Amino acid sequence: MEEPVQVGPWAAEAFVDYERLLKIFGAKPLTDAEVSHLERLAGGSHLMLRRRVFYSHRDLDVFLSMYEAGYRCALYTGRGPSGSTHLGHILPWIFTRWLQERLGLDLFFQMTDDEKFLHEERLELSESNSYAYENALDLIALGFNREKTHIIIDTEDIGYLYSIAVRIAKKITYSVQKATFGFDDSTNVGLIFYPVLQMAVSFLPTELYGEETYVLIPAGIDQDPYWRIARDLARSLGYPKPSQIHNKLLPGLGPEGKMSSSKPETAVYTTDPPEVGARKIMRAFTGGQPTVEMQKRLGGNPDRCSVYKMYEMIFEDDDGRLRERYLSCRSGALLCGDCKAELASRVQRFLREFQEKRERARDYVEMYLLRTKFEAPKRR
Ligand code: TYM
């Protein structure tokens, strides 16, 4: 019997069989034609597309056609503010920012302080709410456009979502929620309702603009279950189906698992002092051999290496250099210590520069909040 797949909104492995996942989820692999179409509209390419870090989708082709035909379009993504932001979280945001800039689109960004309060035993609501503001600094530090980026904080902006949410909720049974999210009789009822709010944001732009708006959601594949239901219901509620483009998950720095807040020692946080970030990289688990002699003789395995993945998915833009790194790891010419040291210095520089921008962002958070720009939609 095949092993069950541990990927969903509240659990995920790192070196996942992504092809199998697609079959189970029923999403489509991104084709060369779709990538070229997006690159043509964007007027350039992004490493996460070229390398299929973003590797699958639902109706990306429809979204791109609608965009090209001049229909109103928007981006939507989000964050569950349960603590500090790590490099895995910002991976989809880096790409989303590129999409925003290249396609000139508004971004709706949901901070689910309710979700994390309901899910994490340890968290008070005041804590997840204040993390929403802290995590917003990370988003802003990435350079999102102030006029075009609209942050929604669930517990504060519920008036924007509630009338959409109840109309969704009425169409979803408990058995569908159980089957989709793995809930059982011990799950608190807040968490059983919560997914409806994450779905609701995909319909919000249509309400706010007062016209059909085609929404693209760039996010990790772990978030896909929400969109399966949202897409099934969209037309019956009078909205276009939201499209998705899914990223693979950045592995943590330990022997297994995605980079995750539940394993803080294997995650590099944007708030880690730069030298701490560098030290975490130097201690990372790699795909290398146990000894230098064996590494030289047998070579390493970059395909199972958290350090190589970090280069591939975020930190090495140059395809030629990445290829060289891959081959010299395989051949044993590159030793893990050297490979890590180079990444550590890039991560250290990244954190230093990022943290300066992050601090400056404190002055601007207000300007990114949805409520400072839009009235709540009228109830339909
Ligand atoms: P959260 O806070 O768990 O994750 C935020 C975003 O980061 C992605 N992600 C990763 N991507 C690559 N590598 C990793 N190791 C990694 N870990 C997390 C997630 O897929 C996500 O895109 N329920 C959501 C919040 C949310 C949301 C949304 C996310 C509300 N609306 C719309 C995406 C799109 C959550 O808790 O995300």
Mean pLDDT per block of 10 residues along the chain (380 residues) reads 53 69 88 98 98 97 98 98 97 98 98 98 97 98 98 98 98 95 95 98 98 97 94 98 97 91 91 97 94 94 96 98 98 97 98 98 97 85
Task: Name the fold adopted by 7-253.
Answer: Rossmann fold (3.40.50)
Distance from Cα 356 to the centre of ligand 1, integer Å: 24
pTM above 0.75, yes or no: yes
Spell out where 210-268 has E strands. Answer: 214-220, 243-247
* Residue having the nearest C-alpha atom to atom 28 of ligand 1: 78
Distance from Cα 344 to the centre of ligand 1, integer Å: 25
Query: In the chain, what is the greatest distance between 2 CA atoms, to the nearest angstrom?
Result: 70
Closest-CA residue to 378 (of 106, 152, 73, 160) = 160
* Residue having the nearest C-alpha atom to atom 26 of ligand 1: 78
257 C-beta closer than 6 A to ligand 1: no
Mutate to test the pocket of ligand 1, among 89, 157, 180, 270 (most ligand atoms within 8 A of CB): 89
312 C-beta closer than 6 A to ligand 1: no
Cite the residue boundaries of each domain of the chain with CATH code 3.40.50.620.
7-253
What pLDDT sits at residue 3?
A: 46
Cite the residue boundaries of each domain of the chain with CATH code 1.10.240.10.
264-360
* Residue having the nearest C-alpha atom to atom 6 of ligand 1: 89
The length of the chain, given as a count of residues? 380
217 C-beta closer than 6 A to ligand 1: yes
How far apart CA 96 and CA 94 sit, in angstroms, is 5
250 C-beta closer than 6 A to ligand 1: yes
DSSP string computed for 25-69:
HT-EEPPHHHHHHHHHHHTS--HHHHTTSEEEEESHHHHHHHHHT
**Is the domain 264-360 a CATH 1.10.240.10 member?**
yes
177 with 195: CB under 8 angstroms? yes
Taking residue 183's Cβ as centre, other Cβ atoms within 10 Å add up to 17
Distance from Cα 83 to the centre of ligand 1, integer Å: 13
How far apart CA 349 and CA 222 sit, in angstroms, is 30
Distance from Cα 311 to the centre of ligand 1, integer Å: 20
Query: Given its phi and psi angles, is residue 347 left (phi above 0), alpha (psi -120 to 50 degrees) or beta?
Result: alpha
What pLDDT sits at residue 144?
A: 98
